[in-house]
Structure 1
Amino acid sequence: MSVLFTVGYEGTDIDRFVRTLKAAGVRQLADVRAVPVSRKAGFSKKKLAARLAEEGIEYFHFVSLGDPKPGRDAARAGEFDLFRSIYGTHMQTEPAQDALRDLTDTVQAAPTCLLCFERDPETCHRTIVAREISEEVGFDIFNLFADDPDRYVRNAAKLPRFHSGEGATAA
């Protein structure tokens, strides 16, 4: 079975972040932030895309899959049931469904990682997006933590790998 990675950049810097992606074999980064700007150096859209291009990683932004402001506010307040409800409603919109189809096509092409800010994947909408894609194409989800890329270097043989053509739509 093939794999879809997810990662948050909370608690890391751009160098460790990129090393983590490279150690995992990621070739495409799918940014699912509604607002792709950051106070953390290197994580705003243009600088991130340029840095990733230097490293041979393609950058895509799926703005319609970003969490709307009320959902972000609920998550920030620790109201995760409300956050999930707001995001679930957002995911039913036509722009979100169109973006989800585009993202699903993208992740089938090469090893891809979904990006958002939150370190904890269970409190981030990227997990909801990843689960939707996983159900559609049959990929396993593997959450990366970019604060210690050496863990992935040390355990490279144990990392799941992308297998082109695998998944429900390949049959």
Structure 2
Amino acid sequence: MPVNMTTIGFTKSNAENFFERLKKAGVKKLIDVRLHNTSQLAGFAKADDLAYFLKQICGVQYVHQPVLAPTDQMLKAYKKEKGDWSVYENQFISLMAERRIETRLKPEMFDGSCLLCSEATPHHCHRRIVCEYLNDKWGGGTLQVRHL
């Protein structure tokens, strides 16, 4: 049975637009897949503030899931050192395989959920890779993903 889920990034979005997209999508649980979720640069998406806003504005549960995040070393090589996307993507896929996330998580935990990361679009963001990896491991098509 397909599991409906979404993904979203918070950069290049103001709070009103961000929370309205979540409400319109009917999100019930936001799964934060950022390694570092407490940076002052995150603005309204800083972990404790975000959990409060999600509950008060949207009635949405907040969960931090760092097992779905890249390592500091990977982030630094790609972001700060302007690394190659395909290298980053392959390293992250290997990391998920090493962590065996497909056995640690179950499809039903993603039903009605939304994966959160900072990137504005999913094209060069690990949240998309997480969805594709899990779909591949769970037999394809299990997760019906819409990127907000």
TM-score by length of 1: 0.73
The equivalent of 1:124 in structure 2 is 125
User: Secondary structure of 2:146's partner?
Assistant: strand
The equivalent of 1:91 in structure 2 is 96
Conserved 8 A contact 1:74-1:80:
no
The equivalent of 2:21 in structure 1 is 20
Q: Structure 1: any 5+ residue segments left out of the alignment?
A: 145-171
**Distance in 1 between the 2:31 and 2:106 partners?**
8
User: Secondary structure of 2:63's partner?
Assistant: strand
State the Cα distance separating 1:53 from its structure 2 match. Answer: 1.1
Give 1:79's aligned amino acid: D
Instruction: Verify: 1:68 aligned to 2:71, yes or no.
Output: yes
**Distance in 2 between the 1:103 and 1:41 partners?**
31
Conserved 8 A contact 1:3-1:140:
yes
User: Secondary structure of 1:93's partner?
Assistant: helix
Q: Please, which of 60, 84, 87 is the counterpart of residue 82 of structure 1?
A: 87
Q: Structure 2: any 5+ residue segments left out of the alignment?
A: none
Aligned residues: 140
Closer, same or farther in 2 for the Cα pair 1:33/1:40, shift >3 Å? closer
The equivalent of 1:59 in structure 2 is 62
State the Cα distance separating 1:87 from its structure 2 match. Answer: 0.8
Give 1:92's aligned amino acid: A
**Distance in 1 between the 2:65 and 2:3 partners?**
22
Where do 1:123-162 residues align within 5 Å? 123-135=124-136, 136=138, 138-144=142-148
Give 1:88's aligned amino acid: I
Aligned CA RMSD, in angstroms, stands at: 2.0
State the Cα distance separating 1:86 from its structure 2 match. Answer: 1.8
Closer, same or farther in 2 for the Cα pair 1:105/1:3, shift >3 Å? closer
Q: Please, which of 39, 42, 45 is the counterpart of residue 44 of structure 2?
A: 42
Conserved 8 A contact 2:70-2:92:
yes
State the Cα distance separating 1:103 from its structure 2 match. Answer: 5.9
- Calculate percent identity across the aligned residue pairs: 26
